[in-house]
Structure 1
Amino acid sequence: MTAPDPLTTAWTSAQVEVMHALRDWALGFAELNRGFAAWMRLPASDADALGRIIWAAEAGSPLSPVQLARGIGMTTGATTALVNRLEAAGHVGRSREHPDRRRVTLRPSPEARHRAREFLAVAGTGIAATLQAADPAVLRATTEFLGRMTAAAAG
């Protein structure tokens, strides 16, 4: 079976609505990240990286520079420069917590965590309320669908 041609396939109205909703979410999330970047007085790429570092640390799974590089789609060299900027600004620190002492762990500074919480207290409450109110079955189905869409977009 051949894959459908995205330009000539007749899409249902529900499929078009999903694509528009995904686009709108992506635009909204990008705007949220730009707001966080402005709040932290950082370039958007640095704010995205800092957000990922904070989120991972809050989840109890702090990132290594290599994991961060994969997540943000940058080379390890470019990620090192980015982490150096974040460290020089006092937003992150590097530590060697792993039994393999060569492995570096990225940790947000207490001030960066505090500033991120301040931002999310204003900008993230609607998202948090929506997630808290969602039916667990809908969340599971959404996560599964978005995972497939992400994989399809990655090729």
Structure 2
Amino acid sequence: MARVDPLAVAWAPEHTAAIQGLRNWAIRFAELNQHLAAWMNLPGSDANALSHVVWAAEDGKPLSPAELSRQIGMTSGATTVLLNRLEAAGHIRRSREHTDRRRVTLRPEPEAREQVRRFLAVAGVEVAEVLLDTGLDDLRRITAFVTRLGEAGAVANERLRRRGTT
């Protein structure tokens, strides 16, 4: 695909509606994380990090501290302090599961995972209803679209990191 100037494109209403819908979901998702923080009596940053650790583990792709740091937008030092708090509170554990013993994997503790599941049982009702009410073909198309959009964002973020603009 040729490079485009996003500010010079004549966007169709469907394009802007899709981006606005994704933006609204990101805002609502952040609000849900704030409710998770209150549910678990955690600071918002800790709940956000814990949710990343839990979702990654649920997906079978546990995070390293460096990956978590990138995802939550914190320095490695700040992430270490946050992980120390979560570990001391019994919410996560650091393990060395790789042949390279220097590499650390983050895992949620069973009780923390269960607390998040109980939260989702209350907070996720409407989201689950929408997912179950959406046809599988539509979900496949949506998944393909958001996956491509996520990959495009990853490429843009890597390009910006290489330029040193962040």
TM-score range, shorter chain: 0.7 to 0.9
Specify the alignment match of 2:99 in structure 1. Answer: 99
The Cα of 1:36 is off from its aligned counterpart by 0.7
Within 5 Å, give how 1:112-151 maps onto structure 2. Answer: 112-151=112-151
Q: Which range moved further: 64-73 or 31-40?
A: 64-73
Alignment correspondent of 2:39: 39
* AA in 1 matched with 2:41: R
Find the residue that maps to 1:42 and give its secondary structure.
coil
* Distance (Å, rounded) in 2 between the aligned partners of 1:88 and 1:28: 29
* Residue 124 of structure 1: how far off its partner (Å): 0.9
87-96 vs 10-19, greater mean Cα deviation: 10-19
- Give the distance between the partners of 1:11 and 1:59, measured in 2 at CA: 35
Name stretches of at least 5 consecutive residues in structure 1 with no aligned partner. Answer: none
- Give 3-state SS (helix, strand or coil) of 1:74's partner: coil
SS at match of 2:94: strand
Q: Per-residue CA shift, 1:100-148, capped at 9, x if unaligned?
A: 2222221111221121111100001222232233223322322232234
User: 1:20: which partner in 2?
Assistant: 20
Q: What is aligned with 2:76?
A: 76
2:65 aligned with 1:60: no
Partners of 1:138 and 1:117 in 2: how far apart? 26
Aligned residues: 154
Secondary structure of the corresponding residue to residue 99 of structure 2:
coil
Letter in 2 for 1:131: L
Runs of 4+ displaced beyond 4 Å: 151-154
Q: Which residue of 2 aligns with 1:3?
A: 4
Instruction: Provide the rounded CA distance (Å) in 1 between the counterparts of 2:76 and 2:117.
Output: 28
Measured at CA, do residues 125 and 103 of structure 1 come closer, stay the same or move farther in structure 2, by a change above 3 Å? same
Alpha-carbon distance in structure 1 between the residues aligned to 2:152 and 2:109: 36
Distance 1:153 1:96, change over 3 A: closer
Going from structure 1 to structure 2, the CA distance change for 1:118 and 1:2 (only over 3 Å counts) comes to: closer
Matched residues in 2 for 1:61 and 1:2: separation? 32
Residues 101, 2 of structure 1: CA spacing in aligned structure 2 closer, same or farther, 3 A cutoff? closer
Shift in alpha-carbon separation, 1:92–1:5, aligned structure 2, 3 A: closer
Cα offsets for 1:11-56 (capped at 9, x unmatched): 3332232233122212211111111111112222211110111112
Q: Normalising to structure 2: TM-score of the pair?
A: 0.79
Cα distance in 2 between the residues matched to 1:4 and 1:100? 43
Give distance in 2, aligned partners of 1:65 and 1:11.
Answer: 39
Percent of counterpart pairs with the same letter?
A: 55
